[in-house]
Amino acid sequence: MKLVIAAIKPFKLDEVREALTEIGVRGMMVTEIKGFGAQSGHTEIYRGAEYTVNFVPKVKIEIGVAADMVDQVVETIEKSARTGKIGDGKIFVLDIEKAVRVRTGETDEDAL
Amino acid sequence: MNIRKLLTASAALSIAALPALAQEAPVPDKGDTSFMMIATVLVLFMILPGVALFYGGLVRSKNMLSILMQSTVITALVMVIWVVYGYSFAFGGGTSPYWGGFGKLFLSGVTMDSTAATFTDGVVIPEYVFIAFQMTFAAITAVLIIGGFAERVKFGAIVLFMALWVTFVYFPIAHMVWDGSGLIFNMGALDFAGGTVVHINAGIAALVGALIIGPRIGLGKDMMAPHSMTLTFVGASILWVGWFGFNAGSNLEATGGAALAMINTFTATAGAILAWALIEAMARGKASMLGGASGMIAGLVAVTPAAGSVGPIGAIVLGAIASAVCYYFVDVVKNKLGYDDSLDVFGIHGIGGIIGAIGTGIFTAPSLGGTGGEDYSMMGQTMIQIEAVAITIVWCGVISFILYKIVDMVIGLRVSEDVEREGLDLTTHGESAYHY
């Protein structure tokens, strides 16, 4: 089992969700986050006072998937979240030790 | 009152008594009275919620309630002071050029039948309406000042300062400018709706406050962007609507003079908004919403002294000039000098007021579409305007300085560093504006 974590542009969220649903992903966790990478913020000016906004709003999605699906999931996120411009985001893949479905008590791949 | 009743009775008894009727005190017109009542509550609407939201949106969210609460309490405070002694000090009937005396303390002698004169001989309005109208002017001027030192001052210190400030600065200047025996009035200065009394006065007091109190912690380093441009826009727009009460109401009668003030309050503001947006678009490639709102206020401020005497086209130019100068002040000069007039009370009300007061001398000229007579001297009137501005600046600047120092000694003006960092809402008022 693998945990796929991706930080993407907020307006790409629906596209990514739809693409993932099509390949059979049945759930994900979504969080609104701020961060910086290569994009590293922008400047705002209020009556001549300049402020650098270092952290850019992004959306973080987390998906638990079976090991044999992980490449397909990563590839789908990569394709659907891409605009080709700076600030498209990052994808990380981690191992999952254990998974439990709260309602039934099913574990591991049955719980995903 | 008794004499008037007597006269009315005798007039009714005999046609021969007609000459006596001509001597009788004039009776308010219902149209004028209704108009002035509406104008009065429009000025209240400018303060609450107008200025409160305009300013509130510009501060950080941790200080939102401090602005709303200061606006509310200062408004209430000035209203109480006004009826106790403020009206008397400003319009009490005394003949001193500097103040109105003690004649109308606690509004003594004022009844439902008392009247106040207007600009037309024989036309009067109920004195209670005049008192209420002028009361809202005193309140808004005090509330405008808080923008100069927003986000860092003790609540109690502000309340004490405002009580002293209206007493020693606002009431005397209102008397000097608007009362028949006033110093500036008798110089022949034109100040239709309060360019000197309200805007220059508030702007100078705010600047002196900002200089004495010092900049906010983290100025130039921390993020201090407006927490809600949306509310700032709402507040500015309410100010524009309310300003019709302010300017047209200053005519005191529902006549063509009020109509002129009304159209000028439209055109000057429109000219100022366009100018600010154009300057920003050219200077940095983007016209900002805050620029639009700032232009709106700059235009309204500039047309305040001019509304009753300039023409609608001259008003457009006056508004545009005010925008250009105010833009330069808040965008360039303030940041270079490094003082922290947090919400640009001086940069917009002070500077816009000065441009408006001097511009009134210029644009009242008939050659520029103004209402000045054939013998109108543009140069002469403009010199008088400059003199009136100078008197206001010196009086307000010196006395405000002394009052800030007194309050600093008695209570202390500034909150502690911890309080400032945590925000005034929680530390001073025990509440938060938003629960996300």
Helix (H) or strand (E) holding B239: helix B229-249
B-chain CB neighbours of A48 within 8 Å are 330-332, 334-335
Q: What is residue B50's predicted lDDT score, i.e. its pLDDT?
A: 98
Closest-CA residue of A relative to B295 is: A47
Tally of domains within chain A:
1
Q: Please tell me the distance in Å from B126's CA to the nearest CA on chain A.
A: 44
Distances (CA, A) of B8 to B121, B124, B431: 20, 18, 60
Task: Report the alpha-carbon angle A62-A66-A67, nearest 5.
Answer: 105
Structural domain for A69, as ranges: 2-111
Q: Does A47 sit within 8 Å of B290, measured CB to CB?
A: yes
A-chain CB neighbours of B290 within 8 Å are 46-47
Q: Does A47 sit within 8 Å of B330, measured CB to CB?
A: yes
Q: Does B290 sit within 8 Å of A49, measured CB to CB?
A: no
Q: How many Cβ atoms are within 10 Å of A33's Cβ, its own excluded? A: 13
Closest-CA residue of A relative to B292 is: A47
Closest-CA residue of B relative to A54 is: B223
Does A36 lie at the interface with B, CB-CB under 8 angstroms?
no
How far apart are alpha carbons B236 and B53 in whole angstroms? 8
Which A residues 56-95 touch B at CB under 8 Å?
none
Closest-CA residue of B relative to A52 is: B223
Helix (H, G, I), strand (E, B) or coil at A9: coil
Does A11 lie at the interface with B, CB-CB under 8 angstroms?
no
Distance from first CA to last CA of chain B, Å, rounded?
61
B-chain CB neighbours of A45 within 8 Å are 284, 288
Would you say B39 and B29 are in contact if contact means Cβ atoms under 8 Å apart? no
Q: Please tell me the distance in Å from A12's CA to the nearest CA on chain B.
A: 24
Counting as low any pLDDT under 50, the low residues of chain B are 1-20
Q: Does A48 sit within 8 Å of B225, measured CB to CB?
A: no
Q: Which two tokens stand for residue B143?
A: 């509330």
Distances (CA, A) of B371 to B299, B318, B359, B374, B389: 20, 15, 14, 9, 21
Q: Does A53 sit within 8 Å of B223, measured CB to CB?
A: yes
B-chain CB neighbours of A49 within 8 Å are 220, 224-225, 335
Counting as low any pLDDT under 70, the low residues of chain A are none
Does A102 lie at the interface with B, CB-CB under 8 angstroms?
no
How far apart are alpha carbons B309 and B381 in whole angstroms? 12
Locus of tokens 């605009």: A83
Domain boundaries in chain B?
31-429
Which of B59, B223, B233, B326 should we substitute to test contact with A (largest number of A Cβ atoms within 10 Å)?
A: B223
Q: What is residue B23's predicted lDDT score, i.e. its pLDDT?
A: 60
Beta-carbon contacts below 8 Å between A and B? 27
For B350-415, give the DSSP string: IHHHHHHHHHHHHHTSGGGT----TT--HHHHHHHHHHHHHHHHHHHHHHHHHHHHHHHHHT-SBP
Would you say B340 and B216 are in contact if contact means Cβ atoms under 8 Å apart? yes
Q: Does B332 sit within 8 Å of A46, measured CB to CB?
A: no
Q: Does domain B31-429 have CATH number 1.10.3430.10?
A: yes
How far apart are alpha carbons B78 and B162 in whole angstroms? 8
A-chain CB neighbours of B288 within 8 Å are 45-46
CATH of the domain at A54: 3.30.70.120
Cβ-based burial of B338 (10 A; exposed 0-12, middle 13-18, buried ≥19) = exposed
Helix (H, G, I), strand (E, B) or coil at A36: coil
Does A43 lie at the interface with B, CB-CB under 8 angstroms?
no
Q: Which of A44, A47, A51 sits opposite B331 (nearest CB)?
A: A47
Does A54 lie at the interface with B, CB-CB under 8 angstroms?
no
B-chain CB neighbours of A42 within 8 Å are none
DSSP designation for A85:
S
Q: Does A49 sit within 8 Å of B224, measured CB to CB?
A: yes
In chain A, helix, strand, coil percent, each to 5?
A: 30, 40, 35
Q: What is residue B220's predicted lDDT score, i.e. its pLDDT?
A: 86
Cβ-based burial of B13 (10 A; exposed 0-12, middle 13-18, buried ≥19) = exposed
